[in-house]
């Protein structure tokens, strides 16, 4: 278990990279950190690892307060964003390095390194030096080195970012299986929301040193708590349309929809609908957003249809083969929607 209490990091110069973070990652949990560049993800991992000293707050790993312990005594394995591996050692020795530190006999180290290497498709590269490897191969060596021992926690900072799309998917599946087998508490940083949704038990979305929302992938995907999270999650971004409430109804881009409880007269809102939950009607409907088909994008099994509706663009995903022609008129009808006021989700 990892728990953080009021964890704050202010860098010299005044950047508040972490702002009073409270978080508990359960034993064996796979926890993903998502957020835009500069929001504090790497700083958070480095602080848990002991590579940065927090300005205030504390860190516990398995009940022990490690806030003042040096990195070597925290029993965590970290894979860095820039995956530093030892240039003078071959792949076997790099992977086996943490085992050497723990005085595991040589034959056992080599056997273990070969086994982990095989599972990360590195078996043919065991005798190469880092300079003879591609960036993606080096990154897998760094990952293998972290995995070779059995620490109290894994801290992964974008460990798959240098892999090509197919290898990335393979490594992702491998990592999830391995983490389940070893049941090592894991904090995984990624900027790839699909990766976070696929891997994590829970996800935290960060912004400017704070956790904006923490939840299961389903919760984060279905009910983003703010428009920031809504716009960040989903492979096709959520439609976020401005609207107003009058007399119990919502008026959104030419459509009239039922208003949720708690809205006053003339409240400004943002109406959120995922393109996956937007249907298209061929006939006029009062509850549909009128528009003209402006763009069609093939997504493989479906087609992303973009309607031009006055000043707004409205997107819907329809099954492949059922997409309308360019230039025709359609009414976009939400099947599931969320309403935000002042950027926050209305319950």
Ligand X SMILES: Nc1ncnc2c1ncn2[C@@H]1O[C@H](COP(=O)(O)OP(=O)(O)OP(=O)(O)O)[C@@H](O)[C@H]1O
14 is a site residue for ligand X (CB under 6 A):
no
Q: Out of Mg ion, ligand X, none, which partner does residue 302 contact, by CB within 5 to 8 A per kind?
A: none
Name the helix (H) or strand (E) containing 315: strand 312-319
Indicate whether 53 belongs to the interface with ligand X (CB under 6 A).
no
What mask, x for binding ligand X by CB under 6 A, covers residues 54 to 93? ---------------------------x------------
Q: Ramachandran region of residue 40, left (φ > 0), alpha (ψ -120 to 50) or beta? A: left
Nearest to 40 by CA among 61, 15, 65, 63: 15
Which residues sit opposite 242 in a β-bridge?
Answer: 270
Give the x-and-dash track for 177-216 against ligand X (CB under 6 A). --------------x-------------------------
Q: Please, are residues 313 and 294 in contact by the beta-carbon 8 Å criterion?
A: yes
- Find the shortest distance in angstroms from Cβ 252 to ligand X: 34
Residue 228 lies near ligand X (rule: CB under 6 A)? no
Nearest to 241 by CA among 233, 225, 230: 230
Give yes or no for residue 13 binding ligand X (CB under 6 A). Answer: yes
Query: How is residue 259 annotated by DSSP?
Result: P
Of residues 108 through 147, those in contact with ligand X by CB under 6 A are none
Q: List the one residue from 6, 15, 297, 310 that touches ligand X (CB under 6 A).
A: 15
Which residue do the tokens 């798959």 mark? 160
CA distance 268 to 279: 24
Q: How far is the CB of 37 from ligand X (least distance, A)?
A: 3
Q: What are phi and psi of 290, to 5 degrees?
A: -75, 145
Instruction: Tell me the closest approach of the beta carbon of residue 198 to ligand X, in angstroms.
Output: 19
Are 226 and 253 within 8 A, CB to CB? Answer: no
Q: Which of 9, 18, 40, 42 binds Mg ion (CB under 5 A)?
A: 42
162 is a site residue for Mg ion (CB under 5 A): no
The partner in contact with residue 135, picked from Mg ion, ligand X, none with C-beta cut-offs of 5 to 8 angstroms by kind, is none
User: C-alpha angle with apex 234: 38 to 178, nearest 5 degrees?
Assistant: 80
Q: Does 290 bind ligand X (CB under 6 A)?
A: no
- Residue ranges binding ligand X (CB under 6 A): 11, 13, 15, 17, 35, 37-43, 81, 191
């Amino acid at each position: 278990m990892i728990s953080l209490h009021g964890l704050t990091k202010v860098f010299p110069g005044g950047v508040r990279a972490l702002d009073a973070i409270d978080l508990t990652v359960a034993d064996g949990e796979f926890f993903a950190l998502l957020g835009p560049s500069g929001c504090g993800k790497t700083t958070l991992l480095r602080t848990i690892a002991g590579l940065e000293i927090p300005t205030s707050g504390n860190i516990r790993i398995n009940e022990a307060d490690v806030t003042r312990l040096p990195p070597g005594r925290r029993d965590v394995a970290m894979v860095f964003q820039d995956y530093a591996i030892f240039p003078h050692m071959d792949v076997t020795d790099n992977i086996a390095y943490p085992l050497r530190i723990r005085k595991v006999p040589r034959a056992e180290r080599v056997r273990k390194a070969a086994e982990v290497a095989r599972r990360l498709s590195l078996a043919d590269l065991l005798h190469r030096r880092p300079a003879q490897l591609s960036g993606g191969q080096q990154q897998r060596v760094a990952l293998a080195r972290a995995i070779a021992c059995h620490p109290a926690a894994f801290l992964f900072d974008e460990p798959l970012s240098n892999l090509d799309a197919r290898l990335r998917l393979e490594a992702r599946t491998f990592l999830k299986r391995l983490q389940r087998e070893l049941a090592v508490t894991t904090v995984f940083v990624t900027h790839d929301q699909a990766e976070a949704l696929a891997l994590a038990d829970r996800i935290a979305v960060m912004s400017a040193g704070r956790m904006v929302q923490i939840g299961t992938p389903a919760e984060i995907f279905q009910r983003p708590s703010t428009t920031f999270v809504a716009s960040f999650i989903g492979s096709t971004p959520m439609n976020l349309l401005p609207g107003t409430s009058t007399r119990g109804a919502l008026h959104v881009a030419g459509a009239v929809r039922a208003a949720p409880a708690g809205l006053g007269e003339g409240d400004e809102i943002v109406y959120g609908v995922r393109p996956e939950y937007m249907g298209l009607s061929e006939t006029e409907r009062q509850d549909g957003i009128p528009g003209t088909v402006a763009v069609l994008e093939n997504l493989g099994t479906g087609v992303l249809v973009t309607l031009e509706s006055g000043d707004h663009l409205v997107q819907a995903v329809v099954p492949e083969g059922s997409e309308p022609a360019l230039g025709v008129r359609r009414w976009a009808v939400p099947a599931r929607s969320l309403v935000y006021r002042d950027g926050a989700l209305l319950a």
